[in-house]
Amino acid sequence: MRKGRRVVVPFGKRKLAGVVVDEGQEADLKGYKAKELLDVDMELPPLSEELLDLTKWIAKYYMCSWGEAARSALPPGSAAATARSRIKTVIMVGLSPNAPEHPPRGSKQFAILEQLRIWDAAERLPVTQTELLAAAGGTSATVRRLAQMGFLEIDVAEMDRSGGGSSDRDSSRLDLHKEQVRAIEAISNQLDSGKFGCFLLHGVTGSGKTEVYLQALQHARKTGRTAIVLVPEISLTPQTVYRFRSRFGDEVAVLHSRMSQGERYDAWRGIGEGRYPIVIGPRSAILAPVKNPGIIIVDEEHESSYKQYDPAPRYHARDVAVVRAMNNGATCILGSATPSLETLSNARQGKYTLLEMPERVPIAGKPAKLPDIHVVDLRNEKTLRQQNRVLSERLVNAIAARKESSEQTILLLNRRGFSPIMECTSCGWVPECSDCSVSMVYHKPLHHLRCHYCGRTAPVPVSCSSCGQPTMDFAGSGTQRLEEELEERIPGIRLLRMDLDTTSTKGAHHRILDQFGRGEADVLLGTQMVAKGLDFERVTLVGIINAEAGLQLPDIRAEERAFQLLTQVAGRAGRANLAGEVLLQSRQPGHPVIQFALRHDYAGFAEYALEARSLLNYPPGGKLFSIVFSGPKDEITRKYAEQWRNLIDSRLQSVDRLGPSPAFVHKLKNRFRYQILLKVPTNVPSSHVRNGIQEANKALGSLSDGYRLTVDVDPAGVI
Ligand code: ADP
Ligand code: ZN
Ligand code: ZN
């Protein structure tokens, strides 16, 4: 049996799906009788040795089973121990060139033949059997009989539902500017060496990173090797995908999360058989079955959507990308305008080569500038709150002016401000945990504030600790309200709203962006979705409604994400020959993160944030493991977590152990959740931590029905 084949095996009374990971000599079964395999999937190309190895690494690193990891490398649905044929076939029917002279006897046979002759005269043959039977009546048996008698020809064709490929190409390369040339040269040399190398391509928004990816890909394809391009979320980056499609045409398979099972299955098969040497997709595409990958590109490498939380494997696709490239002697490119601190620190340590593109692509020979960013201090806009409004006079005027001159505006409302966080409406002060430097979250049932990293609690403040005013309130405001306010204040304004509500249907993103691109609206307003990858030349204004939102989330990366978001969205303005402007509204204009964003100062931000992280042993100054217990009863779940914490105490004295404390989302789908966080200093080997965790799990024994323990290595975001 070939390694990597998907099989179905009997397991007690059940049937389970599996993957052949090894073939051996006759095993010593010690008296047990070996059972026969029930089924072998011969349609799906077997998992390659390379992917078997990679999934084994994932299982070990992210602490899950090999089976869980291998499942991610198969198209969804194929892990179910059921029917095998998922390939859809169609039966095509045509007339036989040497049909008998005499007509067939049956009336049904006659009708079918007549219909085919009509279509033949109209040059419409061959047709599908389904279409034929619908038009002429009869059954598939009639068709088969006619074929046996020599009247017809039948052909069975496989249908490819993946929609991969399109043959129109636009291979016109752009003339590269100086920094692009330098980047391409370094990458090409690496590709030619045939050895592993990883680059951090740090280029400001609009510096032409995508063009570098495209030409690097072209170079890799010339050497005959395949490629994977990861993008954060396909539906949010249609413009990027379009550029790859038009350069590489039918070599490209695009994977996305809204594909049906059948579509994914076909795409997977096409990739495995080498029909699509270039794969573009979100995080799961990193396990696509390309053979001999020569280049792996991770666009917007800082994006948190590359980390999978549920189910296992809880992998980070960017990190798996680096490992996969390493295993294959491939070149890896991590690109971003705001690299994650982890990647930055890897580059500084010399693990990755840093390529910088600090300037925008020049337009018509003139240097293109990053947009000017101005702050609107909301503390001076006292009437807004009374009127229940969120837009300052200055922003409204700026939007109206753009409308007059047929330019466009993008408005960002940061949804991350919606967790129950308290802030002072006079000065913007937010209560923080003194041990963790994250903001505390309001808990309604107990009416107190709590730190979700260490569990410390504090009473709800009556007045602000910073300015002394009795003006503590909850933060937040919605896109719909913003829409109403704009319509009321700028009569006749044409709006497009992009948020979870307006984009729940297939293709909705595309539609909204197309409309905006055609100039059918003056304003595109929305949540984080409007911040990424959009390249519209008439957008000259970006407004940020609540720039400080998200800064106070109980997450060690809260400030990093806020900075990234501000920089990304600001980068949407003034990308062509019209100059851009950004108006950033904030109640905390003096906050360091906002100040760095104002000055386009990534380096300054990185210094500031890295120092804070390393002081607290947070990544990249240390490693995190998050252990979450969940279950139907609050008390029992907490007890399990406490027992586990006791078991780990003796085993891992060299690491910081925090918790258990209620998880950020304490109750999720009627399950209670408790989290223990392990902070591992850089000098403690993580194998030691993994062993400790495994021993503790073993010592705890199996949990009662409905209770669950999950381990999350390198967790991202609030859990
Ligand atoms: P980034 O991905 O760094 O934000 P893009 O690759 O989207 O930047 O490039 C910004 C714009 O500049 C795009 O419209 C792109 O087509 C254009 N562009 C990129 N490189 C060049 C070049 N060398 N010459 C002219 N235009 C370019
Ligand atoms: Zn704390
Ligand atoms: Zn205050």
pLDDT score, position 418? 43
Of 235, 257, 271, 352, which Cα lies nearest the Cα of 308?
257
Q: Confirm or reject: Cβ of 299 under 6 Å from ligand 1.
A: no
pLDDT band at 718 (very low <50, low <70, confident <90, very high): low
Average pLDDT over residues 564-577: 86
Residue 158 tokens read as 């496989």
Answer yes or no: is 457 within a domain: no
Q: Confirm or reject: Cβ of 533 under 6 Å from ligand 1.
A: no
Which of the ligands is closest to the CA of residue 439? 2
CA-537 nearest atom, ligand 1: 14
Q: From the CA of 542, how far away is ligand 3's center (Å)?
A: 28
Higher pLDDT, 620 or 419: 620
Shared domain check, 640 and 556: no
For a substitution probing ligand 1, which of 211, 338, 360 has the most ligand atoms within 8 Å of its CB? 211
Q: How many CB atoms lie within 10 A of CB 406?
A: 9
Shared domain check, 590 and 494: yes
CA-176 nearest atom, ligand 1: 23
pLDDT at 160 over 70: no
pLDDT score, position 17? 73
Q: Confirm or reject: Cβ of 568 under 6 Å from ligand 1.
A: no
Average pLDDT over residues 708-716: 94
Of 347, 359, 339, which Cα lies nearest the Cα of 178?
359
CA-209 nearest atom, ligand 1: 3
Look up tokens 């539609």; give the residue. Answer: 511
The CATH code of the domain that includes 703 is: 3.30.70.600
Answer yes or no: is 578 within a domain: yes
What gap in Å lies between CA 243 and CA 231, rounded to an integer? 13
Shared domain check, 232 and 339: yes
Average pLDDT over residues 392-418: 87
Shared domain check, 634 and 487: no
Q: From the CA of 180, how far away is ligand 1's center (Å)?
A: 10
Residue 284 tokens read as 């799961």
What gap in Å lies between CA 213 and CA 223, rounded to an integer? 16
Answer yes or no: is 462 within a domain: no
Of 541, 505, 515, which Cα lies nearest the Cα of 407?
541
Q: Confirm or reject: Cβ of 176 under 6 Å from ligand 1.
A: yes
The domain tally of the chain equals 5
pLDDT in tens, 237-258: 677 888 898 899 889 998 877 7
To the nearest whole percent, how much of the chain has pLDDT over 70? 88
Answer yes or no: is 80 within a domain: no
Q: From the CA of 215, how far away is ligand 1's center (Å)?
A: 12
Which of the ligands is closest to the CA of residue 452? 2
The CATH code of the domain that includes 154 is: 1.10.10
Shared domain check, 241 and 342: yes
Which secondary-structure segment (H or E) carries 605?
Answer: helix 602-615
Answer yes or no: is 553 within a domain: yes
DSSP secondary structure code for residue 432 in this structure? B
pLDDT score, position 510? 82
pLDDT score, position 80? 47
pLDDT score, position 186? 98
Q: Quote the domain boundaries for residue 706.
A: 622-713
Shared domain check, 11 and 33: yes
Of 678, 675, 648, 650, which Cα lies nearest the Cα of 664?
675
Final residue of a structural domain among 71, 101, 123: 71
pLDDT score, position 53? 96
Answer yes or no: is 472 within a domain: no
Answer yes or no: is 484 within a domain: yes
pLDDT score, position 476? 44
Q: What is the pTM of this model?
A: 0.79
The CATH code of the domain that includes 313 is: 3.40.50.300
Q: From the CA of 362, how far away is ligand 1's center (Å)?
A: 9
Final residue of a structural domain among 612, 639, 664: 612
Shared domain check, 693 and 650: yes
Alpha helices in 62-153 (DSSP H): 66-72, 107-121, 129-136, 140-148
Answer yes or no: is 434 within a domain: no
pLDDT in tens, 440-456: 877 766 778 887 667 78
> What's the mean pLDDT when you consider all of the chain?
85
pLDDT at 332 over 70: yes
Which of the ligands is closest to the CA of residue 243? 1
Residue 134 tokens read as 């619908």
Shared domain check, 153 and 241: no
Shared domain check, 578 and 516: yes
For a substitution probing ligand 1, which of 177, 182, 210 has the most ligand atoms within 8 Å of its CB? 210
Final residue of a structural domain among 300, 332, 363: 363
Shared domain check, 151 and 270: no
pLDDT in tens, 490-521: 999 999 988 766 776 777 888 898 899 999 99
Which of the ligands is closest to the CA of residue 441? 2
What gap in Å lies between CA 553 and CA 421, rounded to an integer? 8
Q: If you average pLDDT over each of 300-304, 325-329, 615-619, which comes out highest?
A: 325-329
Which of the ligands is closest to the CA of residue 237? 1
Higher pLDDT, 3 or 685: 685
Q: From the CA of 210, how far away is ligand 1's center (Å)?
A: 7
pLDDT score, position 122? 62
For a substitution probing ligand 1, which of 236, 535, 536 has the most ligand atoms within 8 Å of its CB? 535
Q: From the CA of 171, how far away is ligand 1's center (Å)?
A: 15
What gap in Å lies between CA 649 and CA 634, rounded to an integer? 23
Q: Are strands 39-40 and 6-11 parallel, antiparallel or unpaired?
A: antiparallel
Shared domain check, 399 and 271: no
CA-571 nearest atom, ligand 1: 4
pLDDT score, position 90? 64
pLDDT in tens, 294-305: 999 999 999 988
Q: If you average pLDDT over each of 23-32, 105-114, 472-481, which comes out highest?
A: 105-114
Amino acid, single-letter form, for residue 68: E
Average pLDDT over residues 610-617: 90
The CATH code of the domain that includes 33 is: 3.40.1440.60
- The angle at the Cα of 455, spanning 452 to 460, to the nearest 5 degrees, equals 85
Ligand 1 atom 25: residue of nearest CA: 174
Q: Confirm or reject: Cβ of 370 under 6 Å from ligand 1.
A: no
Residue 374 tokens read as 């101005």
Ligand 1 atom 20: residue of nearest CA: 208
Radius of gyration of the chain (CA): 29
Shared domain check, 279 and 351: yes
